Chain A
Amino acid sequence: AQTVTQSQPEMSVQEAETVTLSCTYDTSESDYYLFWYKQPPSRQMILVIRQEAYKQQNATENRFSVNFQKAAKSFSLKISDSQLGDAAMYFCAYRSVYGGSQGNLIFGKGTKLSVKP
């Protein structure tokens, strides 16, 4: 069975600085999707970025980028020029392309990011 591990329960970053959140996963599959979701306090969870395993190029969305290392099964999220609004819980998630429901995302336990002014 697939697992997702986020080894950093909490992280802190100074405003305007860069922070990297770690995520590792375990799978025997060759094709899958990886996601980072953001959950601000008392707000809905939203998708930050998505990576398809068959694509070698790392996904980028404005200040958010990933470092996808398929062989190492690592999928870290880099937030550049951190802003106060980036403070949230960040969840790494995995989804197999083989059968099952789209909702069958396998989530990590999350990393709580604090941004200091």
Chain B
Amino acid sequence: ETGVTQTPRHLVMGMTNKKSLKCEQHLGHNAMYWYKQSAKKPLELMFVYNFKEQTENNSVPSRFSPECPNSSHLFLHLHTLQPEDSALYLCASSLEDSVGGELFFGEGSRLTVL
């Protein structure tokens, strides 16, 4: 049973829609991450939050907007997306931002942009 829960598991949206992905962790972790997983490509780190503060933004387009209201919750707000944004979006968490630590992943939100 995963300690990182993502909702929704599947999302289909048009290019003009606004939607949000939600991630919740019950592990007492302080760091949370959004990754994008596309077919036949390595996982791409999008955003990192440590103690609710954003510490990384890997040149992600502004149509993706993260929000971290507390250490247990992470959102990814989506608006005016493009078909190439269709992918599996993975949330992960870890115990602080320590070297060599394990990331705990959610099951992902499969996004399809029409």
Query: Does A90 lie at the interface of the complex (its beta carbon under 8 Å from any beta carbon of B)?
Result: no
Question: Which residue of chain A has the shortest Cβ distance to B102 in the bound complex?
Answer: A47
**Also in contact, A102 and B42, with CB within 8 A (given A47-B103, A95-B99, A95-B100):** no
- Selected interface stretch from A11-19, A37-45, A68-76: A37-45
Q: What string of 1s and 0s marks CB contacts (under 8 Å) between B16-51 and chain A?
A: 000000000000000101010000111101001010
Query: Does B105 lie at the interface of the complex (its beta carbon under 8 Å from any beta carbon of A)?
Result: yes
Query: Does A78 lie at the interface of the complex (its beta carbon under 8 Å from any beta carbon of B)?
Result: no
- Interface residues in A1-40 (C-beta closer than 8 Å to B): 4, 9, 33
Bound-state CA distance A107–B82 (Å) is 24
Query: Does B70 lie at the interface of the complex (its beta carbon under 8 Å from any beta carbon of A)?
Result: no
Number of chain B residues whose Cβ lies closer than 8 Å to a Cβ of chain A: 30
Bound-state CA distance A103–B33 (Å) is 7
Q: What string of 1s and 0s marks CB contacts (under 8 Å) between A62-104 and chain B?
A: 0000000000000000000000000000010001010011111
Question: Quick check: B56 and A101 within 8 Å, CB to CB?
Answer: yes
Can you list 19 contacts pairing A with B, beta carbon distance less than 8 Å? A9-B40, A44-B107, A46-B105, A47-B103, A101-B31, A101-B45, A101-B56, A101-B97, A102-B94, A102-B99, A102-B103, A103-B48, A103-B94, A103-B97, A104-B48, A106-B42, A107-B43, A108-B42, A109-B42
- Which B residues contact A (CB, under 8 angstroms)? 2, 4, 31, 33, 35, 40-43, 45, 48, 50, 55-56, 90, 92, 94, 96-108
- Which A residues contact B (CB, under 8 angstroms)? 4, 9, 33, 42-47, 50, 52, 91, 95, 97, 100-110
